[in-house]
Amino acid sequence: MSALIAPELVALDADLGPDKHDVIRALAQRVTDAGRATDLDALVADALAREEISATGLPGGLAIPHCRTSGVDEPVVAFARLSPPVDFGAKDGPADLAFLIGAPAGGDATHLTILTKLARALARPEFGRKLRETESAEEAARTILDAVSDAPAEQKTPAAAPEAAPTQKRSLVAVTACPTGIAHTYMAAEALQAAAARAGVEIAVETQGSAGATPLPAETIAKADAAIFAVDVGVRDRSRFAGKPLVSSGVKRPIDDADAMIAEALAAAENPNAARVESGRGESSESASTASESWGGRTRRILMTGVSYMIPFVAAGGLLIALSFLLGGYDITNVYGAVMVDNTITNLPDAQGLGLEHALFDSGLAVYLGALFFVIGKTAFMLFIPALAGYIAYAIADRPGIAPGFIMGALAANLFGVANADGVSAPATGFLGAIAGGVLAGVIAHWVSGWRVPSWARGLMPVLVIPLVTSILAGLVMIVVLGKPINWLMERLTDGLGALDGSSAVALGAVLGLMMAFDMGGPLNKVAYSFAATGVGAASLAANAPELRIMAAVMLSGMVPPIALALATVVRPQLFTTAEHENGKAGWLLGASFITEGAIPFAAADPMRVIPAIMVGSAVTGGLSELFEVGVRAPHGGIFVLFAVTNVLGYLIALAAGVVVGAATVIALKSVGRAPVPAAATS
């Protein structure tokens, strides 16, 4: 394995540009020039993506942009002593010491342990002092390598104080975790340990990072006076800390102010009314209970957790039903039950006898498989609404919320077909009911989890008390209070979608196209996609269902940006850099696969020209898709699910038109008031 850093990866007193994006790209270029990066653009894109999650500037003039990436095969660090300093988002001002840390996407434990040691070294003031005083790149590289060699790989859990000791220190436990688990996780741990030592307090820290985590012993947790959670992701097996006074924050806070967090934890230990870790909370959650999370961010996270777990049900169900129609024809919906019950693989049905004129090759095997695929796909569709509600509740209350959430989702879908003697069904509130029911179940489960109960009853809380009380309360509210109003709203929404035609449908398609292209995988993109995906799951089986047309508009619009930019690099290569040409080559396949994020490198480099251009192209495609009444039953797959498309010709025309318009617009905008990129850069 190559050394983590070498002199050629060091820049002293360097001006690498006015902002952090320039610094990251310059350091990544240095890594590439040293032969340590396999893909410059991947390294830059992944580092910038991590920067968007939270700023990597740290107190004391440090910046640690870092990522796990396919752009490197071995861990690597590039270091720059910046002159002038550059703002990386630290509260105390710009950074003059910047470390670009790249870890291979599939890095093993050795790789990650090395980076863990470096992260811990960064938390020590003498480390930064040496790097500011050094006069040579060789000495700077040696200082960093010495820190990696000498720093402890992991803080061991302190041994319990002997019971006979005359005085016993106060004891705390902590968990630190960040999204990538490379730097902040370990720096936060180091900062908490240093602050605890200054306060004369014992602390045991569990770092839930990429190098793995060694769970704190149960006896260490039991004797702790309070717990600190400094996390930007969910705490694994959170229920181990149930009942402990809790101080929680994002992972950066202890790096900035560890002394205050230690003091707050000690105060919480003395306060009978302090917040506590909820009883019966389950294993790792998609959510992070951080003090800094805004209500808007929390709401979006909760809804997107439910949607992310729901989408596999919709995707599997949609593709299976599309395959069933491919094999057995649309008429399979009339006979699937009889085929499944009456036939077997050795007793195949008669396609002609069943009136299946569109069965593939009039094959009995195709009909039989089509019927089975339809049953499996329909079952998946029946479960997507309960899954949406269940995992919304999970995002709020962790594991105790899952069962009540699923029950609320089943009520929202009227899963068991409750009806009166005249055949009138109970209100089915659909995905709106699932969202309301999931939130209701999560809030109630979270509230019940916080009840203070005797120690003998704690084991009953997650398996009996919480699901029972939550299901009763939330179920009664859903049926008695919310059922009919939400059902009325769903009927109006369904009627409104069914009435869309002409200009109104085209306008909706254009708006969805704008949303898909604006932030390329960001919040607006996800809102549009979630709206379409839930519609596919709730759609009727008719090929012309309006929900299927919305899904087509969204999918096609999301395919346009990468393909349009790829086309632009071919038509006017002199307007694009070498890196953009490489991104353009990948853009063809990414766009065809419905991966809108393939356009991000172009937008990051030139947002004022690229984003408006691809929005125009996607809006054209979305509008044309609705105009041509294109429908698609599969919620993902792009060009590779044409068998699930209604009006394939319209699908291809809408896609081609948006790509051409988007490419032409970006070429026009890049050509106005801007000199062409030098020929050397495009060769």
pLDDT at 153: 39
pLDDT at 468: 94
What is the average per-residue pLDDT within 147-176?
A: 59
Question: What's the mean pLDDT when you consider all of the chain?
Answer: 82
228 within 8 A of 214, measured Cβ to Cβ: no
570 within 8 A of 664, measured Cβ to Cβ: no
- What digits encode the pLDDT tens for the residues 389-437? 998 998 888 788 899 999 999 998 888 878 888 877 787 787 778 889 9
Between CA 32 and CA 29 the distance in angstroms is 5
pLDDT at 542: 58
Between CA 430 and CA 462 the distance in angstroms is 28
- What digits encode the pLDDT tens for the residues 115-127? 667 777 777 778 8
pLDDT at 182: 59
pLDDT at 411: 92
- What digits encode the pLDDT tens for the residues 291-332? 445 565 567 667 767 777 777 787 777 778 778 888 988 788
Rounded alpha-carbon distances, angstroms, from residue 421 to 415, 418, 428: 18, 10, 17
Contacts of 521 (CB under 8 A, 6+ apart): 596, 597, 600
Widest Cα–Cα separation across the chain: 91
pLDDT at 580: 82
Whether residue 679 is predicted with pLDDT greater than 50 in this model: the reply is no
212 within 8 A of 243, measured Cβ to Cβ: no
Residues of the chain with pLDDT > 90, as a percent, come to: 33
Whether residue 501 is predicted with pLDDT greater than 70 in this model: the reply is no
Q: What is the DSSP string of 637-680?
A: -GGGGGGGEESHHHHHHHHHHHHHHHHHHHHHHHHTT-PPPPHH
32 within 8 A of 40, measured Cβ to Cβ: yes
- What digits encode the pLDDT tens for the residues 508-517? 899 999 989 9
Whether residue 49 is predicted with pLDDT greater than 90 in this model: the reply is no
| Higher pLDDT pick, 76 / 300 | 76
pLDDT bin (cut points 50, 70, 90) of residue 662 is: very high
pLDDT at 296: 59
| Higher pLDDT pick, 126 / 162 | 126
- What digits encode the pLDDT tens for the residues 240-272? 888 899 998 888 788 878 888 999 999 998 888
pLDDT at 617: 96
Domains of the chain: 7-148 (3.40.930.10), 171-277 (3.40.50.2300), 295-477 (no CATH), 502-671 (no CATH)
Q: Which residues are catalytic?
A: 66, 178
pLDDT at 245: 92
